[in-house]
Structure 1
């Protein structure tokens, strides 16, 4: 098979993702202002938005090679595992790492970037990484993270879903979703963190519609990179779909529009990874972004 040609990614999709992130976060800021959120909420999310936008363009386009992708996955897993050892404990739930007065939800911060980089690893390392991430989600416990991991993995490997190794990965993430869903979650929803769409609608239907529309825009924006990154871009969109779906059906944080720095920063990091990944032009490829080997 001819060697893949590499080129840098067009910048237009990144600017579109930046606009989507601004729209989603701004809809949340409007919700905070109208709903009377605590004074610290608005500046924290606004500052996180600025940092995320900087991060999006911090990595030169196409400069993150295979070794860089491996480091992204390894560091992301290390951060998520750290919650079980030294993370913030709230009623037996460990999903956060403290950063001064701020608690960062590690899966929202790191999982999107991990899924973006994952398809650039050998399959055996992909399966190992997914198994570790699913185990962490069960132990924390965090059904939202397990769902985001599952949808992200399925979306990023959809073209290869019939490969035996990928089917094994599907079994791993499905087990993680089921196991985490059946673990007790003692945390009550916090206003402006969870249920942002429903609470925004309660304030004014226009706010609820705005939050939902902006969130859908932010979820879909990474998928527009699919011609450049195929599996990685769809995987990132899948992760945010999982987090958003969990927030609509259970007491889990609303990503980007709800209060919290982690999701906003995580969006920026994931887009930075997507921008940094080399684009592969496969002259006779299988449409998966890989040569079809199951190494």
Structure 2
């Protein structure tokens, strides 16, 4: 019970478990549906890469966050201008024999980071990201940006959120006016429907894996009453990705084939506070002392 109680105070640690669980459920779906075995290897490899990146210690502070958001926005703009193009759509970068989608890797991290460090430079980076989504164009990611910033504006009600929201709405409007002719790719898009065509168990695995992605946001929202913005942003980001996958021919995050969303999900956990409700009153001295001795690594071992 001590481990479970401490885990509930660490949505980031819970997110690691949820990411692994969603990948496993996605593998189950793909095995039942008859996907190529290399697809399974790609998803497992992406999870390993994400966890390796998550284990790194990153610098903190407004200046670093501003620089990181600007750099990621530049990468998204470069993808729109010089990325791999398919029928007029430039959303991918080819690395060796793989095509990765930088927006799925970087945009969730940018949004969650912005929710905690809103500044003029960070706002400029988000506006540049909105322009990149219009340039690619990527209706799914542009919609994710709009929904996330609507949520932040409701919670934070500051000038930076409003300016970023206006830019995201403009970018989304551009994507609506541009053609998006790409068909659904098997095991990547329309998974929430095609999985049930393969087998009821495959469909249940896909839906359950998608639901797991929202657990860290729910836990963080309940536990982190003093700082709910990052959890709201995180939850909205991945809910928007799931909704886009259900409504159009866009990648189904984590449970479908593709490493970009897996890496993006794990990286977006980096922007969450390590501990929810850090400023809340501790229930008891004993619980506080016990909780302080449990690191995320210990929690993962205990939950496993």
Q: Do they fold alike, i.e. is TM over 0.5?
A: yes
Give the match for residue 135 of structure 1.
131
**2:255 alignment partner, SS class:** coil
Contact 2:220/2:276, CA 8 A, preserved across alignment? no
Residues 114-123 or 40-49, more deviating: 114-123
Q: Shift of the alpha carbon at 1:211? A: 1.3
Contact 2:10/2:275, CA 8 A, preserved across alignment? no
Q: Shift of the alpha carbon at 1:15? A: 2.1
Give the match for residue 6 of structure 1.
none
Q: Shift of the alpha carbon at 1:223? A: 4.4
TM superposition score normalised by structure 2: 0.81
Give the match for residue 47 of structure 2.
49
- CA gap of 1:97–1:47, structure 2 versus 1, over 3 A, is same
After the TM superposition, which parts of structure 1 deviate over 6 Å for at least 4 consecutive aligned residues? 276-280
Q: Shift of the alpha carbon at 1:277? A: 10
Give the match for residue 71 of structure 1.
67
| Residue of structure 2 aligned with 1:125, choices 109, 121, 128 | 121
Q: Shift of the alpha carbon at 1:98? A: 1.6
Cα deviation 1:71-125 (Å, max 9, x = unaligned): 3212211221121233111111101112211111111100111112113444433
| Residue of structure 1 aligned with 2:105, choices 103, 109, 133 | 109
Give the match for residue 84 of structure 1.
80
**2:27 alignment partner, SS class:** helix
Residues 249-258 or 234-243, more deviating: 234-243
Q: Shift of the alpha carbon at 1:32? A: 1.4
Structure 1: runs of 5+ lacking an equivalent:
1-8, 284-295
Q: Shift of the alpha carbon at 1:272? A: 1.9
Contact 2:81/2:136, CA 8 A, preserved across alignment? no
Give the match for residue 292 of structure 2.
none
**1:157 alignment partner, SS class:** helix
Cα deviation 1:38-78 (Å, max 9, x = unaligned): 23211010111122223333236xx5222221232122112
| Residue of structure 2 aligned with 1:146, choices 133, 136, 142 | 142
Structure 2: runs of 5+ lacking an equivalent:
1-6, 282-304
Q: Note if 1:12 corresponds to 2:10.
A: yes
- CA gap of 1:23–1:74, structure 2 versus 1, over 3 A, is same
**1:273 alignment partner, SS class:** coil
| Residue of structure 1 aligned with 2:251, choices 231, 250, 253 | 253
